[in-house]
Amino acid sequence: MKSFVFLTAALFLVAAVSASAYDEDDLPYDYYSKSCPKLECIVHKKMEEWIKKDYSLAPALMRLHFHDCFVRGCDASILLDYEGSEKNANASKTLRGFEVIEDIKRELEKECPKTVSCADIVTVAARDATLAVGGPYWMVPYGRKDGTVSNAKEADQLVPMGHEVVTDLLELFQSKGLNVLDLVVLSGAHTIGRTTCESLQYRLYNYNGTKKSDTRLDHLYLNYLERKCRWASEYVDLDAVTPKKFDVQYYKNLQKGMGLLLTDQLLYKDSRTAPIVTALATQPDEFGSLFSASMVKMGNIQDYLSTDGEVRLNCARVNTPTNY
């Protein structure tokens, strides 16, 4: 019991130190307080409308934010739509929610033209998506600029696809200013959402070329997945127990061998991440607080100078002299 309490305290110490390291570089919270004061009200209303129609858009928008931030920082480069852009990368082929961002953008252009960046819209939409499925609320810093470059090859090189080892994930996160705690906490977003069976069939039928299943999988869960995933195009919930609830069941699943993606299950097998999984599995309130902090950190990833970007009028296209 003492070791568990110590681990919990250690988690919050890491979070506190990590957060303080970002203080100087944080974006301001009041960036739009005068130029677009109704921003959050407009986004919140639109998000309620869309998620009421399609609940699955909530995890989709959270994932869209992750994909955006890990390639060139949080600059809405994932939204640019042309041949060879991130949106058309193999890593992006199952991304959804683009129409939600465009709808919000159109409404904001009516209220405060040429003011709110698409990057900021993606970020606050991810927060409201989390809130809509029972997750925590956090204040969103603003002032991101929209990038003018988007490269599919970069997305395919950087975005995790579910079969990486923990060391690869840690190196990626560290390259973005995030740490091991952020990795485990942000992976907890897999408490909701779904993926295609294509991404895990190799674990079911031919793991590491053995023509057998991954022995880490719980046998009852394996039987279910073998029936569910006969076709690669089928979808399966990331959390088999509470797929529509933002909670700590994801971490409990990992302890039972029910991590759907290999990258998830390995978090419970690696000595650097397993203790964090164990701690979070029984502490829903702490998970919510840590998730909020890690989402703010991820939202602050900027691989560009603030003077390099723009505020796009259409999130799918860069501005031109004639449309701005």
- Contact present, 35 and 41 (Cβ < 8 Å): no
- CA-wise closest residue to 92 among 74, 107, 111, 70: 70
Q: Residue 114 gets which letter from DSSP?
A: T
Distance CA 283, CA 287 (A): 6
> Among all chains, which residue has been given the structure tokens 């299950």?
265
Report in angstroms the alpha-carbon separations of 155 from 72, 86, 115: 9, 6, 27
- Contact present, 291 and 127 (Cβ < 8 Å): no
Binding residues for heme b: 190
Alpha-carbon dihedral sign for residues 273, 176, 90, 125:
positive
Backbone angles phi, psi at 158, to 5 degrees: -100, -35
Binding residues: 68, 71, 73, 75, 77, 86, 160, 190-191, 239, 242, 247
Binding residues for substrate: 160
For 64, counting Cβ atoms within 10 Å of its Cβ (0-12 exposed, 13-18 middle, 19+ buried), the class is buried
Give the helix/strand (H/E) hosting 236.
strand 235-237
Instruction: Tell me if residue 67 is catalytic.
Output: yes
Binding residues for Ca(2+): 68, 71, 73, 75, 77, 86, 191, 239, 242, 247
Backbone angles phi, psi at 49, to 5 degrees: -60, -45
Which residue type occupies 256? K
Among the listed residues 65, 67, 163, 219, the single catalytic one is 67
4 Cβ partners below 8 Å, 6+ apart? 279
Angle formed by the axes of helices 98-111 and 57-69, to 10°? 80
- Contact present, 323 and 94 (Cβ < 8 Å): no
Give the helix/strand (H/E) hosting 39.
helix 39-53
**Active-site annotation, residues:** 67
